[in-house]
Amino acid sequence: MSTDAFEQALNLARSEMESLKRKRDELEEEVIGINERIAKLTETEASLSRLCGEKPTLPRMELSFVGVGPALAVREVVKSSNVALTPMEVRDRIVAGGFDVAQHNNPMASIHTALKRLASTPEVSETLKDGKKAYRWNRIPRRAALSASTLDVDRGKL
């Protein structure tokens, strides 16, 4: 195989990988959106039922991480929590949601990596909880988070 042919094959493989990563990111965003919509609809039904003096008929949505990658599972756990979580608490919650840690050689490394990446965004803050690092969702408007991320990219910070 000539150098040119090899470089073309390598560039094609890289291009395909980037395309697949974009598709994965789009699908993960879609999953997040659907989970949020289900949670909001379930909560709305529960609120309306209480106003009518009835018991809610729909079960509260539990987070499910079956077949989901560690980064998305970690993100959803942190986002759904009202308190800062340590990496061990995040692990316990994703396991409770059906995430199969046995499929990962070092699941805590994956969790720590995902948490550190999240903490580098405007959406998540790193804090201390009982002297240990913990992570909390900042509850900022999505448009503001996107603007801050765009500014960081434009300034070469990311």
The pTM (predicted TM-score) of the whole model is 0.54
| Structural domains counted in the chain | 2
Residue in 115, 64, 124 with CA at minimum distance from that of residue 89 = 115
Domain extent for 91: 70-154
pLDDT for res 143: 52
From 11, 33, 61, the end of a domain falls on 61
Q: For residue range 14-54, list pLDDT tens digits in order.
A: 999 999 988 887 887 787 677 667 767 777 887 888 888 88
Residue 14 shares a structural domain with residue 53: yes
Residue 56 shares a structural domain with residue 85: no
Place of tokens 């079960």: 59
pLDDT for res 151: 47
Residue 39 shares a structural domain with residue 15: yes
Residue 75 shares a structural domain with residue 150: yes
Residue 39 shares a structural domain with residue 90: no
Q: How many CB atoms lie within 10 A of CB 94?
A: 24
Confidence bin at 153 (pLDDT 50/70/90): very low
CATH at 101: 1.10.10.10
